[in-house]
Amino acid sequence: EADIYQTPRYLVIGTGKKITLECSQTMGHDKMYWYQQDPGMELHLIHYSYGVNSTEKGDLSSESTVSRIRTEHFPLTLESARPSHTSQYLCASGRPGTGVEQFFGPGTRLTVL
């Protein structure tokens, strides 16, 4: 079992609320990623980081933002949640030289009413 954690696991909130999805890993990995996954669909990369103070946008445009102040921590923030943000958010980490194996957290299921 990978040592990567996400909280909360499930979140139901109203439109307009600010939310932060937490992701932490204890493996010392430099690379961390956020994916968005809708039911029956592929994972879409929305943010990634190659180390502290490094953040980049992924392939899928997202209104969320991320920060990487510590190696082990990669939180994702939505300033004003909307129903279109309803989805599953998966955090992952990886290290160089592993053929880009990514270790995934359990995910956060977000529902915006």
Partner 1 sequence: KNQVEQSPQSLIILEGKNCTLQCNYTVSPFSNLRWYKQDTGRGPVSLTIMTFSENTKSNGRYTATLDADTKQSSLHITASQLSDSASYICVVHYGNNRLAFGKGNQVVVIP
Positions that interact with partner 1 (CB under 8 A):
2, 4, 40-45, 90-92, 99-107, 109
Among residues 81 and 92, whose Cβ is nearest to partner 1? 92
Nearest distance from C-beta of residue 76 to partner 1, angstroms: 15
CA 32 to chain centre: 8
Radius of gyration of the chain (CA): 13
Nearer to partner 1, 17 or 57 (CB): 57
Q: 53 or 59, CB closer to partner 1?
A: 59
Q: Taking the complex as a whole, how short is the minimal distance between the CB of residue 80 and partner 1, in angstroms?
A: 27
Burial 15-30 (b: 16+ CB within 10 A, else e): eeeebebebbbeeebe
Instruction: Name the minimum Å distance from CB 24 to partner 1.
Output: 14
Residue 4, burial from CB neighbour count under 10 angstroms (0-12, 13-18, 19+): buried
